[in-house]
Amino acid sequence: MPDKTPSVAIIGCGFGGLGAAIELERNGIDNYTVFDRGSGVGGVWRDNTYPGAACDVPSPTYSYSYELETEWSARFGSQSEIKAYLERCAEKYGVLQKARFDTEIVAARFDESSGRWELEIEGGETQWFDALICATGQLSRPKIPDLDGLAAFAGDHFHSARWDHSVDLTGKKVAVVGSGASAVQLVPAIVDQVSELHVIQRSPNWVGNKWNHRSNRQVKWLMRNVPGLSRLQHNVEWAWYEARVPIIFDQFDPLRGGLHEWLKYKIRREIKDPELRKAVTPDYKVGCNRVLLSNEWYPALDRDQTTLHANAVTRVTPAGLVLDDGTEVDADVIIWCTGFTATEYLAPIDITGRDGRKLHTEWKNGPEAYLGITVSGYPNLFMIYGPNTGSLTNTIIFLLEKQARYAREAIQRIAKDGGWIDVRQDVQDAFNEEIQRKLSGTVFTSGCPGWYHTEDGKVVAVWPGSHVAYARATGKVDFDAYEIGTVSANA
Ligand code: NAP
């Protein structure tokens, strides 16, 4: 059998899916299709157009390592810049011609006799592929709480990731529900525009300084013209972030204690009102969910037109929100900064593996995979940004590149030998036991709000180690960890 060019389907055209497509292109595998239900490249960077949307990881490392950009306007690029960067990459590497936008994959079925995947597209069309790369992201499906009365709300309401640009907030009473990464960027961006701003904070987050600086013409010129300078900048930022591993993973508590005190000092320095200071101070350890970065969040909360409600929302009325202490908040506009269905990996695609196994049934107690990339029972399926691959210490782009490289190496083997590869269940189980063992006793299991764990508390989003360790673990596909399947020549 073969040495044929395998056909590959990639679902998702954000950083992960685009990076996987480029990895294939750069290695001579050009028989692929990228599907995306959105209308263009970019994933979350296409969808999140709320005011103030920007990256909170430095742009020199929040870009593909082989495609460093010299023109960032600041250390932390804005949403529109990142989206434009991704569009340029898609064009440069020839991915655009192989992308099908506005196309939602609703089901994927593995056929053991041919060793191929059948994809079903919304509307009923089907297509067959030798391998499937799922890069659907963890933060692509917005979550709005299912609250009584929402349908009867008289004003406008929308999720931060589905910003309604037809709604003018000028002079309006606006309620922002949530105080996570999106709210922290959005609230300072709209506070001067509205007449009243109500921020509904169910749990406070730790917020650190955003050490941002703008790039001027001279810096950009140097980046463009001095050989190796943008690479040096990338590597220095990368190493600086990688050095945070001991703080995040609880190995060196004095550092964490120092950070804790520093973040409390920031609250005291930026907020005058003692009641407000108390309300925004978390009662859990630093690092067990994302430390947010903003120099404007606390000052925006301390403004006269802003009221912080340290409450949950219980229901919606035609006039606004009712909070769990009975307070009624009148609002013309409600903006839901309530996050995403982050732990429901690959949902809502209906994925069927060997012997009719259903992935979502098997994952009902939380998703598990091997290296976050392959799942036993689902041959030739590779995930980008799968379970337990969330990057807390450094840039996710590094991990996405490692996953794309791993998938590409496996696909080359499939092309060479034909058939399929399926990670062994015992290998996957041992890997997950080890992951959970490493996580136990860290801040992630100390019980704090956020989306890194399922409702039962199983931590499914976090990679429990350094990026160097992940690179080592994924550096070469260990085919002994896989069952190798053959298919008949005329299948
Ligand atoms: P998030 O961090 O999950 O925050 C959701 C917020 O909504 C939390 O404050 C949560 O409170 C609150 N909430 C959820 N359901 C609620 C309810 N029923 N009633 C009241 N409050 C409720 O969501 P996000 O801000 O959209 O950010 C999601 C992720 O996107 C981030 O963690 C980050 O990874 C990514 N992001 C990245 C950037 C970037 O710069 N790279 C920017 C924005 C977002 P609890 O804390 O109590 O659950």
Give the pLDDT confidence of 1-43 residue by residue, as tens digits: 456 789 999 999 999 999 999 999 999 999 999 999 999 999 9
| Residue extents of the structural domains in the chain | 8-41+95-141+341-485, 150-205+245-336
Q: Is the CB of 181 under 6 A from ligand 1?
A: yes
What integer is the mean pLDDT of 405-421?
A: 94
**What proportions of the chain, in percent to the nearest 5, are helix, strand and coil?**
35, 20, 45
Query: What is the pLDDT, as a whole number, of residue 208?
Result: 97
Query: Which residue type is seen at 259?
Result: L
pLDDT in tens, 370-398: 999 999 999 999 999 999 999 888 999 99
Split at pLDDT 50, 70, 90, the class of 146 is very high
Domains 8-41+95-141+341-485 and 150-205+245-336 share a fold: yes
Q: Which atom of ligand 1 is nearest to the CA of 203?
A: 47
Do residues 35 and 130 lie in contact, with contact meaning Cβ atoms separated by under 8 Å? no
Alpha helices in 10-114 (DSSP H): 15-26, 44-47, 79-92
**Whole-angstrom distance, CA of residue 491 vs CA of residue 408:** 24
- CATH no. for 150-205+245-336: 3.50.50.60
Q: What is the mean pLDDT of residues 404-418?
A: 95
Give the pLDDT confidence of 429-445 residue by residue, as tens digits. 999 999 999 988 888 88
Q: What percent of the chain has pLDDT over 70?
A: 98
Query: What was the pLDDT predicted at 265?
Result: 97
Total Cβ atoms within 10 A of residue 488: 9
What are 192-209's pLDDT values in tens digits?
999 999 999 999 999 999
Q: Phi then psi for 260, rounded to 5 degrees?
A: -55, -50
Dihedral (Cα; 344, 349, 354, 355), 10-degree rounding: 100
Neighbours of 181 (CB within 10 A): 21
- Cα of 288 from ligand 1 centre, angstroms: 14
Determine if ligand 1 sits within 6 Å of the CB of residue 65.
Answer: no
Distance CA 184, CA 359 (A): 35
Among candidates 306, 279, 241, which has minimal Cα distance to 61?
241
Report which of 207, 204, 448, 201 is spatially closest to residue 310, judged by C-alpha positions: 201
Residue 343: pLDDT above 80? no
- Going from the Cα of 182 to the center of ligand 1, the distance in angstroms, rounded, reads 6
Residue 198's closest CA among 355, 83, 310? 310
Residue with CA at minimum distance from ligand 1 atom 18 = 145
> In this structure, which topology does domain 8-41+95-141+341-485 adopt according to CATH?
FAD/NAD(P)-binding domain (3.50.50)
Span 44-72, mean pLDDT?
A: 96
Q: Residue 184: pLDDT above 70?
A: yes
Q: How far is the CA of 467 from the centre of ligand 1 (A)?
A: 24
- Atom in ligand 1 nearest the alpha carbon of residue 205: 46
Centroid of chain to Cα 428: 23
Q: pTM for the complete prediction?
A: 0.95
Residue with the smallest CA separation from ligand 1 atom 14 is 338
Atom of ligand 1 nearest to the CA of 62: 41
